Amino acid sequence: MAIERTLSIIKPDATRRNLTGRINAKFEDAGLRIVAQKRIHLSKAQAGQFYAVHAERPFYDELCTFMASEPVVVQVLEGEGAIAKNREVMGATNPANADDGTIRKEFALSVGENSVHGSDAPETAATEIAFFFSGLELVG
Ligand code: ADP
Ligand code: MG
């Protein structure tokens, strides 16, 4: 399998509870390398732009308000099949359906406040990485 890069976000419910290090340990234990990382506080407009694909969903406004409520940590993870591997480590969107040992099973508070974001395909990974990082900031 090819080496890939994927965009990850540690969401406000997790940064608020000081879980950044414990979540990063899950990524690293799974063989994912953190090749870029920064802590930022999104505006609601920026959150809305990032999640524009969900604009028609009933939870969109709640999601954007939540993502702008506290700082987030945005990061690029690199490794063999990193996009799918990260989705595995994250667990299902709704923590009630997430497998044991996943980030969402262990840390998520609800389907909305579910601790992490991860890209879902190569095209979205490329777009989402470019949304937050310049090429100079990706240090593999
Ligand atoms: P994922 O983050 O697993 O890729 P989606 O892309 O479907 O999930 O949704 C994006 C984000 O929107 C979720 O991670 C979650 O924070 C929020 N979300 C999804 N479904 C709901 C819902 N039913 N109610 C509230 N928030 C939701
Ligand atoms: Mg998604």
Tell me the per-residue pLDDT of 49-93, one tens digit each, with 9 for 90 and over: 999 999 999 999 999 999 999 999 999 999 999 999 999 999 999
pLDDT in tens, 2-21: 999 999 999 999 999 999 99
Look at residue 21 in the predicted model and tell me its pLDDT. 98
Cα gap 46→108, rounded to integer Å: 23
Closest ligand relative to 86 C-alpha? 1
To test ligand 1's pocket by mutation, which of 63, 83, 120 has the most ligand atoms within 8 angstroms of CB?
A: 63
Whether the pLDDT of residue 1 is over 90: the answer is: no
Beta strands in 51-111 (DSSP E): 72-80
Nearest CA owner, ligand 1 atom 17:
112
Q: What is the mean pLDDT of the chain?
A: 98
**Alpha-carbon distance values, 130 to 88, 136, 138 (Å):** 23, 11, 10
Q: What is the mean pLDDT of residues 25-34?
A: 98
5, 11, 26, 117: the catalytic one is: 117
d(CA 89, CA 78): 13
- State yes or no: is 117 an active-site residue: yes
